[in-house]
Amino acid sequence: DVFAEAPYCGNPLAVVICEAPLSDESMQKIALETNYSETTFVSPLKNEDGGYRVRIFTPSREIDFAGHPLLGTAHVIRYHIQTGEQGPVRLNLPVGQVEASFNAADGGKEVVWFEAPPVTPGIQCSHFEIATALGLDADDMDEASPVQQMTAGISAVMVPVSSLDALSRARLNLDAYAPLKAEGFAPLTYVFCKQTQNPENDLSVRFFFEAHGVREDPATGNGAAFFGAYALNHGLYGERDISLRIEQGHFVHRPSVVMLQASGQDAGQQISVGGHVEMIVQGKLI
């Protein structure tokens, strides 16, 4: 469980250590069998560049980059593959090598961090268009911030709403979203507001995505990275660096906390995403 403050919270992940090579077809079948939002497959052998090759599959396809699979896989590598070694863990993905680091900065409890690859800002749409696709009214939207797609390996649309009430009523309707999809918007929406359920947190989020229908993610690391770049680009927190606790998963009974640190502008942006990882089950595929 990744981004979990306790066991059976956060975002579940299956990590398969591939002692022998698996075909693409086998990996896809295993990902469908686990039916988690993502399943990762990692080689136990380091490449010459010091990284471990990692592939990420949803139940329906392979993807290039996602946040919680990186942190969960890095945790498994640290404690089950390179046992006894200290320092960061390097993961080789289609988007490039991503480094995961470990510290005990959160009340002495270990936090796993990854530094996000470069995030590219993309197309924008009107607040009215996205409100209709989410079953919301125009006055549910926070028009002080734009609706914009962000990309790093995959794409997601940043959607600002005005309140927790609006956030609670949001539902992605794929039929209503079809015109936006035809314009190039990915059916992945990062819906956020600055009101929170827990006063210790800074942002409340829901993430909807298309996968054999519509699913809601309990915790979304790449979405947080996208939000970090988006917030810097649009000055959501002024000119200062950003350090946020993002709450997610309450509406699917998997409460999660995603930690975000972001600084810089344009090509000089540095964005890190972190959270706690809880090992829940260990076993063997037959």
Residue 51 DSSP label:
P
Encoded amino acid at 260, one letter? L
Distance CA 209, CA 37 (A): 10
Contact of 220 with 205, CB cutoff 8 Å: yes
Contacts of 53 (CB under 8 A, 6+ apart): 42, 43, 47, 92
Three-state secondary-structure class, residue 40: strand
Q: The tokens 């993610």 sit on which residue? A: 217
Choice among 19, 33, 38, 210 that is catalytic:
38
Contacts of 96 (CB under 8 A, 6+ apart): 117
Encoded amino acid at 176, one letter? A
C-alpha distances (whole Å) from 224 to each of 1, 41, 43, 189, 259 are 17, 23, 27, 12, 8
Contact of 214 with 172, CB cutoff 8 Å: yes
Structure tokens at 158: 């940043």
Distance CA 1, CA 13 (A): 6
Strand locations in the chain (E): 14-17, 39-46, 52-57, 62-63, 89-93, 96-106, 109-115, 120-125, 147-152, 154-160, 188-193, 203-210, 214-217, 236-239, 242-248, 256-263, 270-275
Q: Is 110 a catalytic residue?
A: no
* Catalytic positions: 38
